[in-house]
Structure 1
Amino acid sequence: MSKLDLSREFIPCRIAVLAVSDTRSLAEDTSGDILVQRLEEAGHRLAARHILRDDREAIAGQLRAWCADPEIDVILTTGGTGLTGRDVSVEAHRDVYEKEIEAFGTVFTHVSMAKIGTSAVQSRATGGVSNGTYLFALPGSGGACKDAWDEILVKQLDYRHRPCNFVEIMPRLDEHKRRK
């Protein structure tokens, strides 16, 4: 069973938040505000925040730039994970991933089912790794961002979480690039 091991020291992550929307400005980005509030309350640091329109190349370009930044450990995007023609965040993420974290979407769907029932099938939330950086594409609704953070990310981004967590393997995410 998962638990916090309080004998381990908390290690803060540097997290970037990207909102994807054709209709909202940064000032109206309530989902991004929720993520920023929660990550800071958990003891992490906001490394960057931006908003982009639903444009696959622009989103992928921002993700790549942040993955190349040694001051960013995790990228959270909100919006663009649905089924409409303008929803391209998942495709942009997959353009960048070296490895996809398939179970993230599965666990997110499980969490969502408990809250919104079968409507959970309309989300394509995803997670992956690129250049030693974790990336997670979350739906644009505030409720979905709360669920993803409160039920999954707050635990997996805490080094004290047992039996395992994303933080403890972070130093090894790009080990294949260091091997000769």
Structure 2
Amino acid sequence: MLRRSVWRTALAVLAAVAVLFMAPLTGAEAAHAHPYPPPSPPSLSVNPFFVVAGDPVRFTAKGFSPNQQVVAVLRDRPNTPLGTFVANAQGKVSGSVTIPVSTRLGFHELQLKGQNPNLTVSALLFVFPRVFPLAGETSGQEEPQPAQADADIEPRHVGGAAAVVALCGGAWLGTRRLRNGNR
């Protein structure tokens, strides 16, 4: 008989706990549903990724408000505005900007900035300096003569080359000694 009352007590406690946990849930409001599928996050893609200074870059961005004015900026020192564009009815902006000829070698960030609401998307570019001037453009410098070309070699370049030769020679000597068993 003792066994039967323990069973009933356990069942009563379990029922009480279930009621305590379920009571708040029955009075809760329904969850607000979000649209499905969820909107895609703002993004920016550029083409090409590797660009020579002075060449155009095409871009496509999404996530802006319809008809929002968007400013393209090349993040550099100083930041360079590249143009103003307007988003279409779906919030998509596409266009082309020209990377300034004076842009230095390296990674640079192309940003598209919209206001009201504030939204900024960015993408990285790798910019190579322009080696040869554009058509109709002069560099303002004379072509170096053969004697001048040799004078442009800096001492740090010679020292760097000597260090590389010394490292390679040391590595070769070390591997040769290990092969022959000389330590």
Instruction: Report the TM-score when normalising by structure 2.
Output: 0.21
Structure with the higher fraction of residues in helix conformation:
1
Structure with the higher fraction of residues in strand conformation:
2
State the structure with more CA Rg: 2
Instruction: Report the TM-score when normalising by structure 1.
Output: 0.21
